[in-house]
Amino acid sequence: MKRKIRGRRDIGIWTATVLLALAFCLSGCGAAPVRQQTSVDTAMGTIVTQTLYVRQERGHTGKESEAEGGTEGESAFVMELLAQLEQQELSWRIEDSELARINARADTGADVSMEEEPDVIPVSSSMQDILGQIWQISTDSGGALDVTLGRLSRLWNLDELAVSAGKGQTHIPAAEQIQSALEDTGFERVRLSEGTITLPAGMQLDLGAVGKGIACDRISAYLHSRPQVTGAVVAVGGSVVTYGEKPDGSPWKVAIMHPREEGNYLGILSLTGEHYISTSGDYERYVMAEGVRYHHIFDPVTGYPARSGLCSVTIVCDSGLQADALSTACFVLGAERGLDLAKSYGAEALFVDEVGTLYMTEGMREIFSAGQ
Ligand code: ADP
Ligand code: MG
């Protein structure tokens, strides 16, 4: 009996020693330290903010070595990734990108024979995958998301509109021009097949509604290939990816801008692990003319900036492309139909309407806290 008690105590002391040693090692004796770095750059026409946590490996000299450039190297690589995505794949402005080449093939103007004979264009497997996902969301949203409205978004040209508004002479497109641009839109008129896309002549694609979300997907894929990156939060404009964890185990905090109080936050999202967050609002790019707000999210039915009653939509889900596409689609659909769409994708949603009412999915209530 005595021996048994002593045995237990011995085991207890032994266990405590092991746990202490383990705690000591984790707190620094063997574990490489994790360094935090925050950087702010521009890419894809927006601001990119990165906070990366990178484990500093010890080199054979015993000193901490910044493997392949360390934290700075990692964030520079992320910027390189975004530049490539824009230049080689998604930009309609950069002549040699895949999207620009697709548009150039479809842009046959008044060529009647081409109008009768739709243009079949080869696409890369990556573009095929992107377009396939977009077409699904276009179908599920009843066309609220429609990336075939390239002619319409170029007609509105919000950047030029802002310049003209600055000079006191806002050039709102005429109703006939909008009608004519709308005739060249319609995702249901496009055929996607294995390795090709068939666009009616004159149609132009605009991937602005999903580009930053796709960027978040690519960033995440890169981070997964870097075991020394233990955590990250990267914002590409209104699209954000959280990855891994913070060294202290606390949740990621993602601020949601107040749509009507510039510089203020509506509230904070607290998230652990990997998530994709996207916000679409009418306060990012807009022009006020005679009391009307002309912004950059269009209703594919009317051809005018969407007036669904919402002024901000935030989506949280497990894909960057989906988060970005859904935030644009829900903005067009409005609160009721938007919530249904978000839920059908298993996404969390937070909407703000023009009188400041908040609409949230159940899961959003658990991760969102209002206020600064
Ligand atoms: P941001 O680009 O500011 O993140 P969004 O993700 O909502 O905002 O995308 C808006 C962009 O998407 C517009 O600048 C335009 O190029 C394009 N767009 C606007 N309305 C639609 C729509 N209904 N469907 C698809 N693309 C759209
Ligand atoms: Mg979007």
pLDDT at 115: 45
Q: What Å distances lie between residue 95 and 102, 103, 242, CA to CA?
A: 10, 10, 32
Nearest atom within ligand 1 for CA of residue 332: 23
Nearest atom within ligand 1 for CA of residue 238: 4
Gap between the Cα atoms of 116 and 197, Å rounded: 16
Q: How far is the CA of 219 from the centre of ligand 2 (A)?
A: 17
Contact by Cβ (8 Å): 155, 182 = no
Gap between the Cα atoms of 157 and 365, Å rounded: 37
Mean pLDDT by 10 residues, the chain (372 residues): 41 41 40 90 97 82 51 90 97 93 78 53 95 98 98 90 76 94 97 92 96 98 96 98 97 97 95 98 88 94 98 98 98 98 98 97 98 75
Nearest atom within ligand 1 for CA of residue 325: 6
Q: What Å distances lie between residue 226 and 94, 203, 241, 272, CA to CA?
A: 30, 40, 16, 19
pTM beyond 0.85: yes
Structure tokens at 361: 């999915």
Report which secondary-structure segment, H or E, holds 256: strand 252-257
Q: Of 199, 175, 145, which Cα lies nearest the Cα of 332?
A: 145
pLDDT at 106: 86
Q: How far is the CA of 137 from the centre of ligand 2 (A)?
A: 12
Pairing mode of beta strands 46-55, 34-43: antiparallel
Contact by Cβ (8 Å): 201, 115 = yes
| Closest residue to atom 27 of ligand 1, CA basis | 209
Q: How far is the CA of 332 from the centre of ligand 1 (A)?
A: 10
Mutate to test the pocket of ligand 1, among 206, 210, 307 (most ligand atoms within 8 A of CB): 206
Contact by Cβ (8 Å): 281, 311 = yes
Q: Which CATH number fits domain 110-198: 3.40.80.10, 3.40.250.10, 3.30.465.10, 1.10.3980.10?
A: 1.10.3980.10
- The ligand 1 site (C-beta within 6 Å) comprises 145-147, 149, 153, 206, 208-209, 212, 237-238, 280, 284, 296-298, 300, 324, 327-328, 332
Beta bridge partners of 239: 236, 278
pLDDT at 17: 40
DSSP assignment, residue 89?
A: I
Beta bridge partners of 312: 281, 352
CATH 1.10.3980.10 region(s) of the chain? Answer: 110-198
Q: Domain 251-372, what architecture?
A: Roll (3.10)
Q: How far is the CA of 20 from the centre of ligand 1 (A)?
A: 55
Contact by Cβ (8 Å): 215, 320 = yes
CATH 3.10.520.10 region(s) of the chain? Answer: 251-372
